[in-house]
Amino acid sequence: MNYSFKVGTTISIKNVNFLIRRMLSEGRVQLESYVDGTLTNTTLNELLGKYEQKLLIFVDTSENKKTEKITGRALSTFSDAVQQKAIRKKKYVEFVTSCGRFISTPEKLQPHIKACAEKLKDANPPSCTSVYRWYRAIITNQGDYRALIDRFDKRGGSGSRLRPEIQTLLQQSIERIYMTQLREPASEVYFDLLHKINKENEFRSSSEKLKMPSRATVYRAIASLDKFETTCARYSPRIAKMKFRSSGNGPNPTRIMERVEIDHTPLDLFVFDRETNLPLGRPTVTLAIDVFSKMPVGIHIGFQGTSIESVFACLRNAIMPKTYLRDKFKTVESDWPCYGIIENLVCDNGSEFRSMELERVALEMGTHLIFCPKRQPYYKGTIERFLKTVNFSFSRMLPGSSFARWFHREDYDPLKDAIVEFDQLVQYLHKWMLDIYAQTIHRGIRAIPYIKWNEGMSAYPPALLKNPERLDIALGRTSQRVLGSYGIDLNNIRYNDSALDVIRKRYGPRVQVDVRHYFGDLSYVHVIDPATQSAILVPALDQDYTRNLNLVQHDLLSKHVREKNSGQVNFNALAKAKADLREIVYEMASSKSQRTRQKSGKLRGIGTNQKDIMGSDATAIGEIKESSERFSSSIGSEDLPSIGSINMHVLGKKRK
């Protein structure tokens, strides 16, 4: 329905209704308030301005509610078939009215209809009665052509036609059968209702028996249920909130390294082991991505799984400059300019992220940890999408891809096609990540991540630690041990150095100290001086055994020795076991069990800075060149926060 500014028209200005009482000279308009009858003078231009600003609307005061319902809905909201029928009706009415005054007699109207049908190439022209009815509908609705729209949705009786007793039984069946987490099909509701009605009819006379509704009626009743409430009942409120949530822009960082998200995923790819000519398994990749630039800033690939060691390795890679790229990966053309201290690190609730060790490292680095709500991974959607992209865009490119779900493989066997070795995988992933992903326009930021990072780095250069060795110390595990004349005993390995004599002389022959030890190298630890908070490097007494030995290998050897020596562990037995380590691991790597072969990758240190013990001579496992200065070096207190007291407080509770 169309409206105009004239006497008697009702308008609403900011939800207040006014009646146009008079149209005065020089474009002035007098309004009467519906609230208190106050008269207000304004101008037509002011009213037009408010209409343009969408502050003014016309109010339909017609008593014909049916007409209001017909014309109040936009044509575009109807189906294409309904729209085409309405347009066809409009063309016939317009053609007839363009020929002069509308005369409804068949003698006058039929020739016009025939001429219009020939023009429209309509093989089934409407009757004179239909065209007259369309014309009257337009006149009745003050020239609004939307009156020609067929309202099939308004046909039929309103409300349910079922008897109240049947409605009650149907509702009971829906609640008991359909609205449960057993998620039974709608057909079970029909049979349950049939049983209820048959049981009810046993006590009714023939004239009062209830009639069973059709299957379609039952299905329509179920389809009309509120979808959110149905999902809550059949799944859970949490899943319903996830399914019906509305997505926004999410976090909007303003600079690089302001918000970094981190997570793990098993690669959908089986790695080939050149030593055994068998598939080694699926490595786990830990990735960190900068939300501002969508640039990956840190990575770790290995067989350590979702462990704190993987997190620390990824964080170290994210914080430190990556100058190794050109020398290590010759095929990678782009550089990797990402580095710097992370302001906010977003994690999920995995045990490795909820650990006190990560809390301590974040405190030392000045990083704020942010944890997503439980079972709501979309709070760190950037890393979730990136990990999915890695598996769908990268892993599928290589032979040996395992697909995301085992049943997607069908007749394809990824173990037979696995030909990519671990070192090749690391190189290929770096090339894909830096030469393809980082150089492609990201839809979320409408920019290339590599360029976005460089722009952000120009505006906000990333920060680094004063001494890079502080990072290595911070990323070590912390334990409390007693320092005695023999030094420190940790994991059945003794560490001692003359630099520790100062601590014993100051605090007594036996004093409890904080010890930083490292998963990938058991040949040394750092002891935190309680007085100066400086980190003192202390070597293991048995360097031949501990060099190039990680904690997993040491635990395996200790277990092997205990089994052979009735639970006792000694260094002679460990030294002999280390000589046999390569043979032990080779047996695991050659196992028919895929899980055992994958476990051997962890024992071999694949994905760490260690050399693969199966890829070198057995007698050269312990050979490592270290300068003598390393064992007398220390980190000054100005490079470390006051971590000694913090560690005592944290680890004191942990050891209880």
* Residue at 493: amino acid letter: I
**Better-scored residue on pLDDT, 647 or 124:** 124
Given 178, 209, 243, the domain boundary residue is 243
Main-chain dihedrals φ then ψ at residue 240, nearest 5 degrees: -65, -40
Q: pLDDT tens, 272-313?
A: 666 656 666 788 999 999 999 999 999 999 887 888 989 999
Helices (H), 125-163: 128-140
CA distances from 274 to 280, 360, 607, 621 (A): 9, 39, 15, 19
Q: Is 536 in contact with 634 (CB distance < 8 Å)?
A: yes
pLDDT of res. 620 = 32
Give the DSSP letter string of 347-377.
Answer: E-S-TTTSSHHHHHHHHHHTPEEEEPPTT-G
Are 328 and 411 found together in one domain?
yes
- Identify the domain boundary among 120, 154, 188: 154
Which residues, 6 or more positions from 294, have their beta carbon under 8 angstroms from its beta carbon? 382, 386, 442, 444, 445, 449, 452
Q: Which phi and psi angles does 86 have, rounded to 5°?
A: -65, -40
Q: Are 122 and 52 in the same domain?
A: no
Q: Does 255 fall in a domain?
A: no
Q: Are residues 38 and 145 in the same domain?
A: no
Query: What pLDDT is stored for residue 264 in this prediction?
Result: 93
Q: What is the pLDDT of residues 38-80, one digit of tens each?
A: 888 999 999 999 998 989 998 877 644 444 445 566 777 788 8
Q: How many Cβ atoms are within 10 Å of 362's Cβ, its own excluded? A: 18
DSSP for 219-268?
HHHHHTS-HHHHHHHHT-HHHHHHHT---------SSTTSSEEEEEEE-S
Q: What is the CATH number of the domain that holds 204?
A: 1.10.10
Percent of the chain with pLDDT over 90: 39
Weakest-pLDDT range from 178-182, 333-337, 599-603: 599-603
Q: How many residues does the chain have?
A: 656
- Rounded to 5°, the CA angle 197-201-203 comes to 140
Query: Which among 154, 166, 152, 151 is positioned nearest to 221, based on CA atoms?
Result: 166
DSSP 8-state secondary structure symbol assigned to residue 203: T
Record the pTM: 0.62
The CA distance from 574 to 621, in Å, is: 14
pLDDT for the residue numbered 615: 54
Decide if 321 contacts 330 (C-beta within 8 A): no
CB 334 within 8 A of CB 433: no
Helices (H), 276-389: 308-319, 325-328, 356-365, 381-389
Instruction: Report whether 101 contacts 133 (CB < 8 A).
Output: no
Domain that holds residue 488: 468-547+625-654
For residue 249, is it within any domain?
A: no
Contact 204, 197 (CB under 8 A): no
Which DSSP helix (H) or strand (E) runs through 403? Answer: none
In which residue are the tokens 């096609």 written?
417
Same domain (yes/no): 286, 364: yes
Residue 315 clears pLDDT 60, i.e. is over it: yes
Check if the beta carbon of residue 251 is closer than 8 Å to that of residue 288: no
Question: At 457, which helix (H) or strand (E)?
Answer: helix 449-459
User: Which of 132, 154, 176 is the last residue in one of the domains?
Assistant: 154
Question: Which position has the higher pLDDT, 417 or 29?
Answer: 29
**Is 129 exposed, middle or buried (CB count within 10 Å of its CB: 0-12, 13-18, 19+)?**
exposed
What pLDDT is attached to residue 580? 55
In a domain, 2, yes or no: no
Residue 159 inside a domain? The answer is no
Residue 76 lies in a domain: yes
pLDDT at 180: 93
Q: Which of the four pLDDT bands, split at 50, 70 and 90, describes residue 634?
A: very low
Structure tokens at 4: 């105009």
| Displacement of CA 506 from its chain's centroid (Å) | 53
Q: What confidence score (pLDDT) does residue 549 get?
A: 81
Q: Write phi, then psi, for 206 (nearest 5 degrees).
A: -60, -35
Number of domains in the chain: 6
Residue 5 lies in a domain: no
Joined together, the tokens standing for residue 652 give: 């004191």
Q: Which residues contact 358 (CB under 8 A, 6 or more apart)?
A: 308, 311, 347, 352, 369
Give yes or no for residue 568 having a pLDDT over 90. Answer: no
Q: Are residues 605 and 638 in the same domain?
A: no
Q: Per-residue DSSP letters for 13-67?
A: ETTEEEEEEEE-GGGEEEEEETTT--EEEEEHHHHHHHHHTT-EEEE---S-HHH
Residues 46 and 96 in one domain: no
| Residue 501 placed within a domain | yes
CA dist., res. 14 & res. 20, Å (int): 16
Note whether 308 and 443 are same-domain residues: yes
The CATH number of whichever domain residue 54 belongs to comes to: 2.30.30
Tell whether 302 is covered by a domain. Answer: yes
The predicted model gives 462-473 an average pLDDT of: 89
Instruction: Check residue 560 and give its pLDDT.
Output: 66
Q: Are 21 and 30 in contact (CB under 8 A)?
A: yes
Does 381 lie in the same domain as 452?
yes
Same domain, 238 and 115: no
Domain co-membership, 489 together with 632: yes
Question: Quick one: pLDDT at residue 238?
Answer: 84
Claim to verify: residue 177 and residue 112 sit in the same structural domain: no
pLDDT value, residue 589? 55
Beta bridge partners of 301: 285
Residues 542 and 555 in one domain: no
Instruction: Report the candidate in 135, 386, 393, 137 with the shortest Cα–Cα distance to residue 269.
Output: 393
Mean pLDDT of 586-613: 56
Residue-wise DSSP of 521-566 = EEEEEEEE-TTT-PEEEEEBS-HHHHTT--HHHHHHHHHHHHHHTT
Position of tokens 């976090």?
251
Task: Determine the residue type at 393.
Answer: S
Among candidate residues 538, 520, 539, 541, the one with its CA nearest the CA of residue 529: 538
The angle formed by the CA atoms of residues 98, 101 and 105, to the nearest 5 degrees, is 110
